[in-house]
Each structure stands twice: as C-alpha cells, then as structure tokens.
Chain A
Amino acid sequence: MRQYFSALAMIAVTTVVVAGAQIITTKAAAERRAVTKLNIELVETTVRIRELEAELGTRAGMPELQRWNDAVFQLSAPQGAQILHSPVQLAGFAAQPDGAPRVQFAIAGSGLPIQPPAAGAAAPGAQPAPATQAGARVVQTSFEGQKAPYAAPYPANDTLQADDLAALQPQGGAS
C-alpha cells in the first residue's frame, strides 16, 4: 500500500512540476509578446520621428534658410568692427561724451534705404550691420535719457523695446 502511495505521490509531483513549467512558459511567452509589441511600437515611433526629422531638416536646411534670407531677411555677415571683445567696449558705446547713441540694429524688409547715422555721431567701428541689398532697414536706438534720430518711422518712443522689434516685422514681400 505504501508503495502505491509513493508511486502516486511521484506522479502527482511530476504532474505539478510539469503544469508549473507550462504556466511559466505561457507567462514568459506572454511577457515576450508584450515586449515584442512594445519594441514594434518603439520602432514605429522611431520611424515616425525620423520622418518628421527629415521633413524638418529639409524645410530648415541651409539652402532654404539662404532663400529666406535673400527674399525676406536680407541680413549680411557682421563686419569685423561690429564685434566687441569685452563688456567694457560695449559700455563705451553708451558713455560717449557727446551723448549720441552708438548701438544700432539692422532690421530687414522695410523697403527703406539705409540711412547713415547722424554726422559726427558715429564712432569708427560702429557702423550699422549692413545688408548688402539696398532695401535693408536700419533703426537706431538710444540709451535711456538720450535722444536719437531714427532712420525709420518706428518706434514712437525713444527706447526701442523688444515689442517694438516685433512690430517692425516686414509688411510683406521681398524688398
């Protein structure tokens, strides 16, 4: 009798182990399917990202930017004298004894001709950023408490603010 129970126990243990192994296998397969599905989603997303990157790269490529600059912005490379090397040099523009402004912005697309700074006001090396095309617009700014002549009809107040720069966007078309 004992021998029969022993055999039965062996069979039961074997059955349990096999069933357990089967459950583990099934669970592992399910997990693997989930991982595979996630991988596929990742790949699809990556491919989609690459497509968007390709579109962005094409639309914002250097030739496109060049075309935009030629047609609208009309900016040119800064001249050597426009680049300052220290805050002291920058401050020097505001501390001129005659009180005339020294800082200028070049803003494109107005259709207005470049107007040079007032005679005697501009220091050497403080020329406006030149747009090679004659249609570029130059706006002079002043420092607080100083009056400055404007080369363009904007802005209405003396000190050019960031919002004023936004208002000076081209009214349309290439100049």
Chain B
Amino acid sequence: MASIPGPIPQLPASPANAPPALGAGEHVTARAQARQRLAFLIMLFPVLVLFVLVRLIDLAVLQGLPEGSSSTISAAPPRGDIVDRNGVELARTFEAYAITVMPKRLTSDPELLATKLAEILPEQSRDAILEVLTSAKSLRYLAHRVLPGQAQRINDLGDPAIEIAREAQRLYPNYSLGAQVLGYTDEKGHGLIGIERAFDDRLADKAARAAPLTLSLDVRVQQAMQYELAALVADQNAKGAAGVVLDVASGEVLAMVSLPDFNPNVPGQRADGTRYTKENDDGSRFNNVTLGAYELGSTFKAFTIASALESGTLTNLQKQYDATQPLHVAGFRIRDDHAKNRWLTVPEIFIYSSNIGTARIAMEVGRDRQRAFLDMLGFLRPVDIELKEKARPQFPPLSNWGQSATMTISYGHGLTVTPLHLAAGYAALVNGGIYHAPTLLRRDGASAVSGRRVVSEATSEQIRRLLRLVVTSGTGRRADAPGYRVGGKTGTAEKIEHGRYVHGRNVVNFAAAFPMDAPRYVVVTMIDDPRGSKATAGFRTAGMVAAPAVRRIIERIAPPLGVAPDSGRDLDLTGLLPAPSEVKE
C-alpha cells in the first residue's frame, strides 16, 4: 500500500530468489498506481473534514443546544406555586438559608459560640444550641429558614464548622388562611395533606411545575369567612367551625374554612408555640369540611320537600299535614321544637322547621325514592372533590332503612354527611336542578361545565321560594343581608361522639344561597358545639348563632364577587303563607 514515488532502488540480483526484473513499461505502471493512491489519500482528507463540518453544523444548528444545558439553567421553582383564582399566591417555594454545623470541626469555644448564636437566633434557647454544638454527630442542622441578616451575622462569626446553605422551603404567605385545604409538605418536599398531597405529582413534575397550580379559591372570600367564623368560635367558645362558599353554576369552591386552624409554615407547632403530640393534638389539621361527617339536622328538609315534588307525591305546596301532636315510631318520638300543634302547609312546615310534618312528607315519598334521591345527590358516598381527606357518609344499610329511618333522615338525623355534601346539594337545588361535583380547581368560564340533573327547573324554583321565605319570615331572619336576597335553612342537631349522642352539645349549621332570584353562590356554615353568649342571648340555635354570621359573610363577599345589592328585586313569595307570619326562636 505504501508505495514510495520516485526511482526504485536497485536490489542485488539473486539468481534463485530475486523477483523477476521489471521492464520499462512495468516501471511506469507502478509509478502511476502509486500516484493514484496518493491522490486518493489527499482527496480523502477534505472528505473527512467535510464530514466533521457537517457533523458540527448538525450539532450546533440542527440539534440546538447540547442536551442538559436547558435543564441546568432554569428559573422554574423546585416545586410548583399554588395560586388562587385571581393569581394571588397561596404557596411558593423559595431558597431559604439553613445553618449547619459540624461539631467535631469547631474551632471556637462551644459555650461562647452558643451564647453568640442565641443572640442572633432568639427563637432558640442557648441550651438547645449548645446541645447541637456539642453533639457527637458529624453534621447537625442548627436552624432552618434563617433571615438573610441573621445568616450574615452568623457567617461573620467566622467559625469554619458552621456552614450556611441554601435550601428549598415552602412558604405560605397567608399563614393559616385555608391551611387544611392547602396542606403542607414534609422536609423532602412531598405533600402530606390538602392540595399539596392531592397534586403532589403535578407540583413536583419537572415540566408542569413552571406554571402555578390555579385553584378555585378566592383569598378575599376565604379571609372574610375565616375571620367571621373565627370571631364566632371565640364568641361562642365553640369547639370548631366549618364553612364553604360554592359557585352554584360550576361547583367551584371559593372558600373552604375549617377551625381550629394551624400555620402550615410551622405545621408541627400549635398556636400556643408548643409542639404537636398525640396527647395535645387539638384537631387543627383536620379538615371539617371534607373529613368531618355530621348529622346536619333541618337543613335536610329542603331535600325531603324536593324529593316529594319530584316524585309527584306533593303537587301543591298548600297541601296540609298533621302536626298536631308528636309522632311515635318504633320506640322513637318525633316532636317539633317550634310546635304549632295544628295542621301545617308545606311552607309552614319549612319555616317552622316541623319535624313531624317533614316526616309525614317523607313517608309519602317512601324509602326507595328517598334513598335514590339522596344517592343521586351524592350523599351516600364520599364527596367528589380532589382532596384525599374525605369522610365516608354514615347511613343505615338498606335492610335497616325502615320507616323510622325514613322519617328521621327526612329531617337530617340518622345520616351523617360533610358540610361540602350539603353545599353541593343546595347548589343543585337552587341552580335550576343541575348537580355539579365540587372542585378546588378553577374552571375555565368559556367551557361548559358538565353536571347531572337531579331536580326539575320547576322544583328548583319552588325550593328557592321556600328558602327565601325562611329568611324573610322564618328561623333564618338574622341572615337577611339587605339587598342581597338571601335564602337559606337553619339546622341544629345533637352532636355525636364515639357513636353516641351527647346531650346538650349541638352542631348548628346554616345553608344559604344568594341572590335567590338568580342564585350564584351557596354559603354553608357549621358551628361545632356553641355554648351561647351575650350576643346570642344565651341561645345556641342555628338561627341565633350561624345565621348572623352568614349575613356578615355575605355582606363582605358579595361586593368583591360582583353581586350587586338591589332592594327593589326579590322573589315573589305571595301565596306561600296565608298571612304574614312571625316565628319566635
């Protein structure tokens, strides 16, 4: 292969082994071959260079940036933000300062260093810091979430064993606002409860986390409800409260409040600064709205009347039912708290909250239709929402769902559901009859929201009139926010603890909607064990405790939600009552 151009050296002739001598023509042929090979080699170099060039262009232009360069430099947070429906941030991840110490490498006197550090970190005691500094472990965290100024001062101490690191921390700027809904994460950034848990994959996904997760919540509504309910809990010395505001047209949850609450920025710490233990857990991380199942009392009467209207057993609201004396069924006595001891029309049964009348309506509807109606409203299964923390409703099995169960369930006893069940059910009753599964994600207004019809438009209109009547003339008068055409129903039930009724302890609630001539929002509030106060004249009923809170909430949330008050508009309630009716609490 490697032929050398030029004259071929003469080799000594060997008569036995020497190759045969070449003639002149043969010499010329060998030289030409050598030149051809050389030319081929010379041409090969540009081809190789061209190949390299093409490859370079391919890498630089066609394939763009080298793999990995876009992922190493990115402004995307390590975990996605959570924002409310208007873009207000509810949770975000930011790089905070953390202080670590390697005790074995300390060059300063631990006692002296602990004193200095305690001055910089006032939230930690000197003894606790000294314990970290003298630890036998190779690395200990001295503090998380240190302010930049504090980090600088610690750095100025100059001990090489103390290192300042940046670490991702989850921040909830609104503190306890919607704490149970938002939830919190563990130290590794995994969601433990609430939205953080339900959307853990979405928030941690490398591609999706650049865009914030937009919830249906509205911080203005959430703040108004949480503030008013907290004030009510304090006034009533109640054990807790729950509240939810629902858009009746889409099922979007605008506010979800559960009290007591906690600060998700320090989830392991109680409001009084002590650490949570199994013994002192006050239940503040428990979401009463989705995880708490309660007998919600008379607010269920609206469903009983709706089922009667739908089934055809009730065709005229002026039909009268015997409420002259208590009912005795299977050893139970059904009586009225506001007993009229006479025959009552349906509107009277509703505004006087007659258990006897409602039980008689339910008996006409029958067990099967009652059960089917409640099932259609989703009351016999966990509420359909994104959160993982959901209670399973408690109700008698079909074999034990007899006459007495039919009667008691008609006025909200013998069946436990969550406040969110109640809100979704009321939304379906007042919005024209369409059930929308509640959601914590903002729905695009342009897209049609799917739902299922549970009652007819005519039944929905009748229920709206009855609910408005309760607020104008019944037990819910203290919920009447002027101009906002509020309708609703009170509910009071004995509390259940460990499967038994607790005498003297009530769960009161109020399910409201506004404006009733064209309902837009449902507001449900529930107070756990109110004790009465001067403001309620010692009463602990829903009409005295929950209804005024609903009025204050509606007056606060209606303007930002764009609901204009109009004292000149209202539902036509004529014909429901024979004469103006006054009801005493």
B177 pairs with A80, CB closer than 8 A: no
Asked if A46 is at the interface (CB within 8 A of a chain B CB), the reply is: yes
- Which B residues touch A57, using CB under 8 A? 88-89, 92, 173
- Which B residues touch A25, using CB under 8 A? 56
A10 pairs with B42, CB closer than 8 A: yes
Asked if A95 is at the interface (CB within 8 A of a chain B CB), the reply is: no
> Chain A 1-26 against B: per-residue CB contact (8 Å), 1 yes, 0 no?
00100010011011001100100110
- Which A residues touch B481, using CB under 8 A? 80
Asked if B223 is at the interface (CB within 8 A of a chain A CB), the reply is: yes
Asked if A54 is at the interface (CB within 8 A of a chain B CB), the reply is: yes
- Which B residues touch A96, using CB under 8 A? none
Shortest CB-to-CB span from B85 to chain A, Å, is 14
Please judge, given known A-B contacts A18-B49, A28-B60, whether A63 and B223 are in contact too, CB under 8 Å.
yes
The interface stretch among A37-45, A109-117, A134-142, A146-154 is: A37-45
Give A28 to B482 CA distance when docked, in angstroms: 71
- Which B residues touch A24, using CB under 8 A? 56
Asked if A61 is at the interface (CB within 8 A of a chain B CB), the reply is: yes
B46 pairs with A10, CB closer than 8 A: yes
A83 pairs with B565, CB closer than 8 A: yes
Give A24 to B49 CA distance when docked, in angstroms: 14
A53 pairs with B49, CB closer than 8 A: no
Other-chain contact of B94, A18, A50, A65, A77 (Cβ < 8 Å): A50
B73 pairs with A54, CB closer than 8 A: no
Shortest CB-to-CB span from B460 to chain A, Å, is 25
- Which A residues touch B176, using CB under 8 A? 63
A63 pairs with B177, CB closer than 8 A: yes
- Which B residues touch A14, using CB under 8 A? 45-46, 49
Please judge, given known A-B contacts A10-B46, A14-B49, A18-B49, whether A58 and B171 are in contact too, CB under 8 Å.
yes
- Which B residues touch A63, using CB under 8 A? 174-177, 223
> Chain B 558-585 against A: per-residue CB contact (8 Å), 1 yes, 0 no?
0100001111000000000000000000
Give A78 to B49 CA distance when docked, in angstroms: 80
Q: Which residue of B lies closest to A40 (CB)?
A: B73
Give A62 to B94 CA distance when docked, in angstroms: 20
Among A13, A32, A53, A61: residue with most chain B CB under 10 A: A61
Asked if B203 is at the interface (CB within 8 A of a chain A CB), the reply is: no
Give A62 to B560 CA distance when docked, in angstroms: 14
Among A58, A61, A80: residue with most chain B CB under 10 A: A80
Residues of B within 8 A of A (CB): 35, 38, 42-43, 45-46, 49, 52-53, 56, 60, 65, 69, 73-75, 77, 88-89, 92, 94-95, 171, 173-177, 219-220, 222-223, 227, 481-484, 552, 555-556, 559, 564-567
Residues of A within 8 A of B (CB): 3, 7, 10-11, 13-14, 17-18, 21, 24-25, 28, 32, 36, 39-40, 42-43, 46-47, 50-51, 53-54, 57-58, 61-63, 65-66, 77-81, 83, 85, 125
